[in-house]
Structure 1
Amino acid sequence: MSAAAAGCSDDSADGDGGSTGSLEKITYLTSFGTFGRDSYAYVALDKGYFKDAGFDVTVNPGKGSGENIKSIVSGQAQFTPIDLTGGLLAAGGKDKTTGFTAVAAIQQRTMAAIIALEGNGINAPKDLEGKTLTDQPGSVVRTLFPTYAKLANVDPNKVTFRNGQAQELIGLLASGRTQGIGQFVVGKPTVETVAKPKKAVVLPYSDVLQDLYGNVLITSTKYATDNPEKVKKFTEALLKGLADSIENPEEAGKITQKYVQTAKPEGVAAELALMGPYVKSAAAGIPVGALDAERVARSIAILQGSGQIEPGLKPEQVINFDLTPKA
């Protein structure tokens, strides 16, 4: 079932007589679909964090970084997570997409990965040569692959990519119709559930791309400029939901099932358990949500060095550091 109506807020009056009539209506898009990795938005909604911050939030399923950016720039949605690398590629690539800005990190490291199954002959990055992988056109995993391959000592010209829609990738892998797929590391439990009894082999991009952030929360440049305090309040509410989800994955799984009938609480919890280390930085003292300009600059340099973005892009063109939690 689609979660299109998942964000319908409680319109009943609070104990103080207040109601959603005074709340600002916000459309929030998940990063993609209704997977467990996005459950923190439902947690923030269910626990009233958005409402307490002054927002009546509707949570709709997103369609990936590229489409989500379009929705933000066009005003169809006000907030969404995208992969920061996808945002850098959009802003610094040929199209020079503008009109969006990042205001918080969701994951401190990229969760992009190639996932294969035991027995497919893929156990290390070099094994990808001569293999056929499947991924959605324009996905961050696929777009970033040339950079990953270069740093992992893989010849990208020896790896074949076929097109597949995101929702069919795991099925293609499980049925043996492809040798590997583009996926996030948190997809491992779902892959193993579908491909049972086979085990998944995960090649995380973060093994060689340690400076790259994962998802970041974005809004439109105009909304951030016009409503800086509202952006801070929304971000704080969402990050509270994120922190709660990482601390108590089982609770987040049960909450998510209230809004997404097809969600399996144990599957949500398994994804969140894997996502935890990516949300909380190994470096002591860095708060959830923080973004560091120097790290982003290094990420830009990596992408420029591999020829994926043109020279000249600055971190401030993609991130509003005045609004982000401080690293």
Structure 2
Amino acid sequence: MERLVFAAAIGLGLSSAALAETDIRFTLGWKTQGSDAPFLLALDKGYFKEEGLNVTIDQGEGSAATVTRIMSGAYDAGFGDINAIIQNAATRPDETPVMVYQLWNKPPFTIVSKKETGIQTPADLVGKKLGGAQGTPTTRLVTVLSRLNQVDMDKLSIDNMAPNLQEPMLIKGDIDGALVFNITSWFNLVNNRQDPAKDYNWLNFGDFGLDLYSNGMMVSQKLIADNPEAVKGLVRAVNRAVIEIGQDPQAGVDAVIAYDNLAKPDLEKARMLFSYDKLITSDEMARIGLGDVDDARLTRSIDIVAEGYGLETKPEAERIFTRAFLPALADRTLVYTATE
């Protein structure tokens, strides 16, 4: 019977890769956004299929939740925050996913404020009232930001609030600054008819000592052990899509709308380009290529996260990231001109 099935498949012109297609359950970091474009383009254009993968992509519940979703066994891979891997690996190292393609080379952790407040450096936070959502990396790591920049935390205040209240309270003047992700808050302000470039300052943690990595593609340890070739294919397909979008941004937008026709094309194109301009491209990325990390920087990142989250143990860097599945450096070069 197996021989007959195989012969029939050959007769229909099916490849052996198609016969051995691997199912991959993939979770995004949040609801559909332009920054998801590389994964959605790889799906829409069949790049996953070409690698012998049957990838199903679901919307997410937060970049940290990607880690717990994979740890639960509900998903094999996803787009999420490497710092959440560090946090969970401190207590459950054998269960946490591993980052295999570090997409966001720079962190989105930011304090946004109206320009009239004069907040441009950590020293300017003294005497100011901030609003932060409890448990988010920006809120948890502001203490490390303050220590590294010799700012007395007792001389500023932080009000706990739901994420959806941060921009409205900032606009009203109820708080001086909000502890946010820049790629989220920028477009929340746009949706509130604000001009985030003209009227707001952005104190980026990465500019003041917290040179952390952020979102990328992670996979379960089980997938790595059971099917390393599938992981290689997953990385190749996404890397191909990242590079293609750099040369043809409209292709990325089209893939986002193909996945979710309720997404706003202009807004999500702007968000996608923001991710390339502010989070993906950097001097380091140009040197080491897409998807990779600098080992010394990752080790420093683990120290920073351990301090900010009060971790009792620090996971080893090899538990957090592996470059074993990355294509050659020549195949991970991004040609992209930043937008202004």
The match for 1:78 is: 76
Q: 1:181 to 1:296 in 2, by over 3 A?
A: same
Say which of 61, 86, 89 aligns to 1:88: 86
Aligned pair partner of 2:294 in 271, 292, 295: 292
Please provide the CA RMSD for this pair.
2.9
Aligned to 2:26: 28
How many residues get paired? 311
Paired amino acid for 1:90 = N
Match of 2:266 in 1: 266
1:16 Cα deviation (Å)? Answer: 5.1
- Name stretches of at least 5 consecutive residues in structure 2 with no aligned partner: 1-11, 330-340
**Which range is displaced more, 102-111 or 122-131?**
122-131
Q: Aligned residue for 2:135? A: 138
1:280-300 CA-to-partner distances (Å, cap 9, x unmatched) read 331444221112322211222
Matched, 1:158 2:155: yes
The alignment partner of 1:39 has SS state of helix
Larger radius of gyration: 2
Distance 1:321 1:210 in 2: 23
**Of the candidates 42, 45, 49, which is equivalent to residue 44 of structure 1?**
42
Residue 253 (structure 1) aligned with residue 253 (structure 2): yes
Amino acid at match of 2:316: K
Q: 317, 322, 330: which one pairs with 1:315?
A: 317
Instruction: Kindly indicate whether the alpha-carbon contact (under 8 Å) linking 1:37 and 1:275 is maintained by their aligned counterparts in 2.
Output: yes
* Residue 146 of structure 2 corresponds to residue 149 of structure 1: yes
Equivalents in 2 of 1:58, 1:172: separation in Å?
38
| Distance change >3 Å, CA 122–CA 324, structure 1 → 2 | same
Cα distance change of structure 1 residues 286 and 157 upon mapping to structure 2, 3 Å threshold: same
Question: How much has 1:234 moved relative to structure 2?
Answer: 0.5
Deviation at 1:195, TM superposition (A): 3.6
Tell me the equivalent position of 1:125: 122
Greater shift in the superposed pair: 206-215 or 166-175: 166-175
Q: Higher helix share goes to which structure? A: 2
Which is worse superposed, 23-32 or 121-130?
121-130
Taking the aligned partners of 2:273 and 2:116, their CA distance within structure 1 comes to 26
Match of 1:180 in 2: 177
- In structure 2, give the amino acid aligned to 1:114: I
Equivalent residue, structure 2, for 1:10: none
Give, in whole Å, the separation in 2 of the partners of 1:135 and 1:180. Answer: 9
Q: Contact (CA 8 Å) 2:128, 2:157: kept in 1 or not?
A: yes
Instruction: Give CA deviations for 1:101-134 in whole Å, capped at 9, x if unaligned.
Output: 1111011222221222333453332233333333
**2:74 maps to amino acid:** Q
Please give the alpha-carbon distance, in whole angstroms, between the structure 1 residues aligned to 2:164 and 2:49: 32
- Residue 230 (structure 1) shift: 0.8
- Higher mean alpha-carbon deviation, 56-65 vs 183-192, is at 183-192
Partner of 1:56, secondary structure, is strand
- Structure 1 Cα separation of the partners of residues 30 and 233 of structure 2: 23
Once the two structures are superposed, residues 215-258 of structure 1 have per-residue CA deviations (whole angstroms, 9 ceiling, x without a partner) of 13211112112211111111111222222233333332232122
Verify the 8 A CA contact 1:188 1:200 in the aligned structure 2.
no
Uncovered stretches (5+) of structure 1, i.e. residues with no partner? 1-14
- 1:44 CA drift (Å): 1.4
Q: Which moved more, 1:175-184 or 1:249-258?
A: 175-184
